[in-house]
Structures are given as structure tokens and as C-alpha cells.
Structure 1
Amino acid sequence: MTVFLLFTATVLIWGSSWIAIAFQLGDVPVLVSIFYRFALAAIVMIAGLVLLGRLKLPSVWRFVALQALCLFSFNFICFYNATGLIPSGLVSVVFSLASIFNAVNARVIYKEQISPRVIIAGLIGVSGLVLLFWNELFARFDMDSLRGVAWACGGTMLFSLGNMVSRKNTSVGVSPIIANAWGMGIGAIVLLALILVSSTPVVAPIGVTYWTALAYLSVIGSVVGFSTYLLLVQNVGSAKAGYATVVFPLIALLLSTLFEGYVWTETAFVGVALIVVGNLVMFTKPRRLKRSCAPA
């Protein structure tokens, strides 16, 4: 039951967080919006751990800091910029290919073998991605869409690298909750430094929609969402936890259709279907036939 609840929470939270990102875009600069998000998330998470008496200092800081760069700062700079160029639901679909990035990065970093199933899944997924953006990239060659896909792919790569670093944290005894709490704080500090260096104006958010989206992304999307996902990885492994990427893009696309007016085309339908199939191929292992023979 615990695994089921973690999986369901991850799917619902991550499926709905993309539209919340779209609601944050506008008058407040991207860097400032992401800073608000993770500064608030870090305060909530660290304060919660203090009240529960569970706040600890990481035994190894370098992996926590590296995780902060990959999961709580630079990757979201990519995702927010992507959402400003293409519908949020499409960004989530690109992000769903994180399992392919994970397989490649695990090969490069941990020397894990890439199975033929992963190669097939990758080819299917990439084919689906091409069809999903066929009209934007080929029929009318929309440069904004091309830049949006590039930003989304960059964010997904950073997220995948963050997954690799999370494995390092676990191996040295730093739990996902502790790594997230301090990582979000470090991420907020990095974002503040970028704001100061780039002379980005710090704009105070206005409007109920922005504040609601900020609260949702900070507390639910960041504190709860990342915790449930990394706890799910810790309980069942990254392969099974990756099934969440099969489901949540469908929720994100539904919300994008309702709130952003995303218009479906025939190639988009086929593209999404292929990406879902690619994820299923990635995570579904073929059953081996068991043969029994009578004893001699």
C-alpha cells in the first residue's frame, strides 16, 4: 500500500505541476520565480524536519550541492524557459523520456550495460517526439518550438544527472529527504547568486493565480513531489519508479488542453502514443518461460 500511495502521489503531483509552472510565467522573471519556489520549499522542508527532530547535516556535502545544481536550479531554468515557448503538457512529454537519459548516463557514469530493450525503447520514444512536434518543426518550422524542445531536453538531461547524483547520496548514507532539504536551500542560494550577477530585477508577485501556483509548486510540487519520487526510487528502484513517467504526461496534456488551449493533431496523437509505448518497452521486462522437466 505504501508503494501504491507513493506512486499515485508522484503521478498526480508531477502531472499537475507543469500547468502550475505555466501559471507562474509573465511579469516575474524566470530566475526570480524559481528562486521564490525553492526558497519557500527549503524553508518549509527544513522547518518541518526541525519540528520532527529529524534534521541532520549530510555526511558528504559535495553530492548534495551537485544534486542541488541538477535538480533544484539549472534544470528548472530550462523547464520554465521551455514552458514559455511550448505548451506545458508537451514539456512534460519530453521530460517523460528521462528514463532513456537515465540509461545512457548510468552507462557513462556507472558503467552499466545498455540492454537491447533500452535501445528499442529509445528509438520508439525519439520517433514519437519527432511526430509530436512534426507540425511545429517541419510543417512550418517554428523556431520558438525548436528552442522550447531544446530547453526541455536540456532540463531532462540535468534531471537525469540529478538522479545519478542521488544514487551517490544514498550510497554514502544521505537519505533523499535530507538531500532534498539542504539541496533546495543550496539551489535557492545559487538562483539568488544568478539573479544578482545577471542584474535580474526582483519583482514582487501579484495576483491570486501566481501565489496559488507558487504555493503549490513549493510545497506540493517540490517538497512532497520530490520526496515521494525519491522515496519510491529507494523502495522499488529507479526502473519501477520510472513507470510514473508513463502516466503523468497524460495528466499534464489533459490540463494543458483544458487551460492552455492545446490543439491535438493526428501526428501529435501518434507521437504521444509512441512515447508511451517507448516507456512501456523501457520498463516492462519480457516474461521468461519456465520449463519444468521430470526428474530422471
Structure 2
Amino acid sequence: MTATKRPTSSTDAGSAAASLAAGTMASATQWQLVAGFLVVYIVWGSTYLAIHWGVESIPPFGMGAVRFLFAGSILYVWCRAHGAEKPTASQWKASAVIGTLLLFVGNGAVSWASQRVPSGLTSVLVATVPLWLVLCELWQGKRPDLLKVLGVLIGLAGVALLVMPTGAATATVDPLGAVVLACGSLSWTIGSLYSRTARQSASPALAIAMQMLVGGSLLLTLSLALGEWTPELHVTARSAASLLYLIVFGSLIGFSTYMWLLKVASPAAVGTYAYVNPAVAVMLGVLLAGERVPARAVAAMTVILGGVAMVSIAGGGARRMVTAMWRARR
């Protein structure tokens, strides 16, 4: 959809938000699009550091449970109050599957692995989702073109460079943390594939809220089963602030902006966050957390993101992205 050139107002913003909740199309000005992309690029890129700081004193699964239950409850009530229809049992079932794969397994893996892997490198390993997507398509019997296969091989070679020791040197990334992140990314990919055909709520925001409630409930169950919440637990101010940031900015503002962008811009253009988030995460990790990025890790990240970009280009993503961004300027 091309951007319109009418001035904005608080009424316009409220109408756009309500249309997102109800599942209708919205329009946007050029400045709104720029602001939306900056939110998805910077806010989502910063969540990796927020998770890293959060798990310093908050149990990983407990933190995810609090984050998604709070954000999901707020978003669910807001959507229903702004016209979203009451979800059916089949829609809850679909959201349960997606919430389990994306948030319980996928995001839970990120939270747990953040105890062992620097935030910047975590974001790079999570960015391998497009590679898993191609592998899943192969499993389904689809025959991707040669460029996609080459992109996957290059990306996986980058992952190997990142996690495998060479000679007397140790691995750049904790191997167990990397394996958990890989499993989480695979789960996220499967959930994303399922979501393409799942019968979800007509309101994208309500569907996300339902997924958050399911994922948060499962994370809470796991957290309680593992005994994460003990009387000796002491939550630091930095961890508490990080959790609040994840609830408000990472989940509510970030997800809502993402879904709004899908309404007013090309999915290919919106998908560019996968390339920008790792750069933002690495930069913030170095500047704010004092994380070191060895030369070998930089080389591995370059190889991984190069493979991911090649997969996207093979699918025509680059051409659609440029077209969408050009239209957004008009």
C-alpha cells in the first residue's frame, strides 16, 4: 500500500490502532512509516540486551512468563475493547500451537541461552530462521532453487565457524547455548510456517495477545515446576527495569508496530528487521554491556547474515523490498 499525504492527528492514530485491533486496513504517512521502521529496527534489536540483563537475577522462564502474561492480558483487553470479535475455540487452538512453538519454545530458548551467550551473538544465531525455513521446505518436498541452497550452506558454515573450536582455541560461543538457540529458531520457523494456514483471529493484534497468553502460561508452568521462584531470589533494579522494558517496548509497542507495518507496507520491507536487529544488538552489547566481539565472531556473523541475505534475494525479497520502500516515499 502506498503512503498517503494527509496530516496526522491523535484521532487518526486512534483510528489506526483500532483498525489494527479489528483487523482492517490502515494508511500511513511517510513519517509514520519511518517511525514505525525505527521502532522495529531499534526496539527489537535492543530486546536481546534487555533479556541478557533481565536473566542476571530473574529466572529465564519466569521472566518470560511475567513478560508475556502481562503484555498478553493488556493487549487482549485492549483489542476486545476496540472492536475485535470474541475468539472461537478453533482460533484458541491455533493460537495455542503458535504460542507454544514461537514463545514457549522459541523465546524461552533465547531467555535461557542468554545466560551463556552474549546478547549480540544471540541475535545473530536467532537471525538464522530463514535458513531453517528453506530446510523445512526441503523436508516438505519442495525444491528450492540453487541460490537458496547455496545461501543455506553458507549460513550454516558461518554458524559452524562461530561455535566450533579450531585447534587449541575454544569455541567463540558456548556450544550448549548455541544448540538451544538453534532449536529455538527451528521451533520459531515451524510455528511461522503453521501460522500461514492456521485459522486465527481476524485481528492480528488479538491473535498475538492469545499467543502471548498461551506461551506465558506454559512458561509459568515450567518455571514453577523447576522451582525458579525461591525465597532467596533477589531481583536487581537493572533486571526489573529490563523486564518492564520488555513488557512495554518489546512486546506491546514492538509487536503492535510490527503488525501495523504489515498493514501499511510490504512484508518484504518489514522483514528487513532480520538484518538490522543483529547489528543493533551487537552495537548495544559492545557499548552498554562491554561485550567483546572477537575477529572470528565478526567473520562468522558476516558469513551468517550473508547466507540469510542470499536466501531472501533468491525468494525475490530484495526486489519487493526496494519496490515497497520506493512506494512508501511517494
Aligned partners of 1:45 and 1:223 also within 8 Å: yes
**2:300: which partner in 1?**
271
Give the superposition deviation at 1:130: 2.7
Work out the CA distance in 2 between the residues paired with 1:254 and 1:18: 11
Give the superposition deviation at 1:180: 0.7
**2:210: which partner in 1?**
182
Q: Which amino acid aligns with 1:24?
A: G
Q: Against the structure 1 CA distance between its residues 189 and 124, is the aligned structure 2 distance closer, same or farther, given a 3 Å change threshold?
A: same
Give the superposition deviation at 1:138: 5.7
**1:242: which partner in 2?**
271
Q: Against the structure 1 CA distance between its residues 139 and 218, is the aligned structure 2 distance closer, same or farther, given a 3 Å change threshold?
A: farther
Q: Against the structure 1 CA distance between its residues 8 and 139, is the aligned structure 2 distance closer, same or farther, given a 3 Å change threshold?
A: farther
**Which residue, 101, 106, 123 being the options, matches 1:92?**
123
TM-score (norm 1): 0.84
**Which residue, 86, 89, 93 being the options, matches 1:62?**
93
Where do 1:1-296 residues align within 5 Å? 1=3, 2=28, 5-54=35-84, 56-58=86-88, 59-109=90-140, 112-133=142-163, 139-142=168-171, 145-169=174-198, 174-201=202-229, 206-230=235-259, 232=261, 239-285=268-314
Work out the CA distance in 1 between the residues paired with 2:287 and 2:237: 19
Work out the CA distance in 2 between the residues paired with 1:205 and 1:185: 26
Q: Give ranges in structure 1 of 5+ residues lacking alignment.
A: 289-296
Number of equivalent positions: 285
Aligned partners of 1:205 and 1:211 also within 8 Å: no
Q: Against the structure 1 CA distance between its residues 29 and 172, is the aligned structure 2 distance closer, same or farther, given a 3 Å change threshold?
A: closer
SS at match of 2:174: helix
Q: Which amino acid aligns with 2:283?
A: L
* Residues 241-293 of structure 1, C-alpha deviations (whole Å, 9 max, x = no match): 432211110000001112332223322222222222222212225799xxxxx
Aligned partners of 1:35 and 1:188 also within 8 Å: yes
Aligned partners of 2:172 and 2:296 also within 8 Å: no
Q: Against the structure 1 CA distance between its residues 77 and 172, is the aligned structure 2 distance closer, same or farther, given a 3 Å change threshold?
A: closer
TM-score (norm 2): 0.76
Work out the CA distance in 2 between the residues paired with 1:66 and 1:125: 28
RMSD between aligned residues: 2.9
Deviates more, 1:113-122 or 1:65-74: 113-122
Deviates more, 1:8-17 or 1:64-73: 8-17
Q: Which amino acid aligns with 2:76?
A: I
Work out the CA distance in 2 between the residues paired with 1:268 and 1:187: 32
Q: Percent of aligned positions with the same letter in both sequences?
A: 24
Work out the CA distance in 1 between the residues paired with 2:184 and 2:291: 22
Aligned partners of 2:127 and 2:274 also within 8 Å: yes
Deviates more, 1:260-269 or 1:232-241: 232-241
Work out the CA distance in 1 between the residues paired with 2:222 and 2:130: 29
Aligned partners of 1:125 and 1:275 also within 8 Å: yes
Q: Give ranges in structure 2 of 5+ residues lacking alignment.
A: 4-27, 320-330
Q: Against the structure 1 CA distance between its residues 85 and 267, is the aligned structure 2 distance closer, same or farther, given a 3 Å change threshold?
A: same
Give the superposition deviation at 1:16: 0.5
Work out the CA distance in 2 between the residues paired with 1:106 and 1:226: 26
Work out the CA distance in 2 between the residues paired with 1:236 and 1:163: 19
Work out the CA distance in 1 between the residues paired with 2:102 and 2:220: 16
Q: Against the structure 1 CA distance between its residues 36 and 143, is the aligned structure 2 distance closer, same or farther, given a 3 Å change threshold?
A: same
Work out the CA distance in 1 between the residues paired with 2:306 and 2:102: 26
